[in-house]
Structure 1
Amino acid sequence: MKQRRSQRFVWDIDWNLLRTFMVIVQEKGITSAGEKLRLKQPTISNALRRLEGHFDCRLIERRPGIFEVTPAGQRLYAECVALFDSVSGLHTLVHDQPDEVTGRIDMAFASHVVCPLLDDILAEFHRDHPRVTFATSVLSSQEVITSVARKDAAIGVCLLHERNPKLEFQPLYRESFGYFCGRQHRLFGKKGLNVEDLRSEAYVSFKTDQMADALWPIAMLRQQEKFTGPILGTSSHLEEVKRLIIAGFGFGPLPIHVVEDDVRKGFLWRLPPYEEPPEIDVYLTFDPQARRTRAEALLLDRLLTQIDETPLSERTYPSDAV
């Protein structure tokens, strides 16, 4: 009897209900799930009710101000993620030829990742497998981690504060940060400056420039040097921090190798301290348990091999920082 019910369930279930439930949990709400799926809220609510009817149990506790996934819902969500991970690889599995690698690789990057090693690996991979396509997204580092955990992206590149225990993190490269100001700033173009000259100046930085966050070495330097000027701008994206610095909102930290061209063009001016700049590691992250397409597995293996074979000193930018 139990086996017959199980078989009937497989034939009766609308698989779209499972996809909708997975998105509801990921988006932490009915309304946001509707926006993600481009469906109206009543449609999402009805899908959840139907799914709970199929299982004859509550999957999500939802009352005004409360949204909690039940233990049964958590178990179902984990299976939904694994299920859709498998389904996503079916097209490639069917169409792949033994001697030709095809398919699409989704990657998520923190803003303005500049890593010559990574660029060389991708160029070489494209030469070897020209039919593989790539889709990349630029997110905050925390969103990159979430994207990889959800299997929206196969591989991520990001800063790291708190490890997701389900993911693996490998240091991809190390970058040195310096302080910079824009042409509008009163210190632009001045030589012979000391750190003391910055202490009361307005400041622009990243949202993670905190002692308990990913850019803690920068926060520590700011604390040690007693920078007490007002913070006039923050962002989680490097380009926006740079935009505010160039616009004259204040001085702030930027990766030295990333803004070398801006310095040469006269948009930015390097400020002290010049010796022993703060260093930040940027990580490659992936789910070691995820089912990967052939293309994803080949790229990840190539990345990990190059990381293992290349000393960190050769993956530190700028190269004269070591």
Structure 2
Amino acid sequence: MTNERDDSVTQASPLRGFSWSVDWNLLRTFLVIAECNGITRAAEQMGLKQPSVSSALRRLEDGLQVQLAERDPRNFVLTAAGEALYLECKQIFGSVARLPDLFSSLHDEISGEIRVCLASHVVTPLLDETLAEFHQLYPKTRFSVTVSNSRQVVKTVSDKTASFGVCLAHDYSDDVDGTLFYREHFGFFCGPPHPLFGRSNLQLSDLRDYERVSFYTDSATGYLRSVALLRQQANLSEQLAGVSDHLEEVRRMIGAGLGYGPLPIHVIEADIKAGRLWQLPPYTNTPSIDIHLVQNPHAKLNRAEAKFLEILTQRIEQTPLHERTYGCSY
């Protein structure tokens, strides 16, 4: 009787389906193939021969009974099924990567790694003070910080490969929640080689004949749309002399005189005081950008991650927005 009951339970269990029969290494191989956008580069990254990687992809397709990629000697494109599986694999292996931190959180003392993904110009004492406080309270924790563009920050949090992110974000995926962290004001600046450097009492119209340096997100639909709107209203030039995802490189090109461009005022205060950058109009009512703290509510956080986010969120909530607004001048 007992055996009959056990057999019926086993047969009814969904674990006896694809999830038990699939070779999980095939999923890992497919993830690398998708991220490398091809079999050859995937084989190089994994240290395998190309036929082995091709065979793994075919075996996975046979097991799933779907085609995952259109490929020939010159092209490799994921199918709709391949794109869907890629997103699932990112979630799966993002969770697996967090297992060591999950186990470390079972000890009485808070320890473990906190993975953070930031946009390239996150400057706020709220974060700095929280890092300092947390390190004093929980010295056995460790931070791993990566820097990327805002879109990639959101994707990294969605994939569960970061505990949280800080970025310019006005839209999120279904897997990500956002909180207004702080607000920063942008101004237009130029470097010493630029013809407008050192000139006072300029008007916004004085910028019209000069090339720009900017961020990829400086567009009517990008994260810096308030900057783009100001340019459009003033009928400024659309001619770009340089563009980048990272503030450091935008600042470098502006300082080198390639063109004028937008920068967060509070981030480059030292450059202004040292004479490396010169602020251009508008001098008041400068465009503002909201910086967000983004989290994945479906991620299983270890105790260190959960505690850090608790302290940081509490600090944000207790600080009025006007004290979290930087670089404004009215």
CA shift at 1:283, angstroms? 1.1
Q: Which runs of 5+ in 1 are unaligned?
A: none
Change (3 A) 1:38 1:161: farther
| TM-score w.r.t. length of structure 2 | 0.86
Per-residue displacement from partner, 1:264-302 (whole Å, max 9, x unpaired)?
A: 111101111101100001111111111121211212222
Q: Does 1:300 align with 2:280?
A: no
Amino acid at match of 2:164: I
Change (3 A) 1:222 1:77: closer
The aligned counterpart of 2:3 is none
Per-residue displacement from partner, 1:27-56 (whole Å, max 9, x unpaired)?
A: 554455446545554333222223334x35
Q: How many residues in Structure 1 have an aligned counterpart in Structure 2?
A: 319
Change (3 A) 1:228 1:13: closer
Q: Does 1:49 align with 2:74?
A: no
- 1:289 is aligned, of 292, 298, 309, to 298
CA shift at 1:129, angstroms? 1.1
- 2:68 is aligned, of 42, 60, 68, to 60
Amino acid at match of 1:294: R
Change (3 A) 1:16 1:114: same
Task: Report the secondary structure of 2:237's partner residue.
Answer: coil
In the alignment, the residues of structure 1 paired with residue 142 and residue 182 of structure 2 have an alpha-carbon distance, to the nearest angstrom, of: 24
| TM-score w.r.t. length of structure 1 | 0.88
* Amino-acid identity (%): 46
Measured on the aligned residues, the alpha-carbon RMSD in Å equals 2.8
Q: Does 1:234 align with 2:221?
A: no
Matches within 5 A, 1:143-162: 143-162=152-171
Q: Does 1:138 align with 2:147?
A: yes
Amino acid at match of 1:89: R
In the alignment, the residues of structure 2 paired with residue 280 and residue 38 of structure 1 have an alpha-carbon distance, to the nearest angstrom, of: 44
- 2:207 is aligned, of 166, 173, 198, to 198
Alignment check: 8 A CA contact 2:38 2:76 kept: no
Task: Report the secondary structure of 1:51's partner residue.
Answer: helix
Per-residue displacement from partner, 1:217-241 (whole Å, max 9, x unpaired)?
A: 1001111111126321111111111
Task: Report the secondary structure of 2:162's partner residue.
Answer: coil
Amino acid at match of 2:66: R
More divergent stretch after superposition (268-277 vs 159-168): 159-168
CA shift at 1:179, angstroms? 0.8
Alignment check: 8 A CA contact 2:185 2:264 kept: yes
Change (3 A) 1:59 1:124: farther
Task: Report the secondary structure of 2:185's partner residue.
Answer: strand
Amino acid at match of 2:68: I
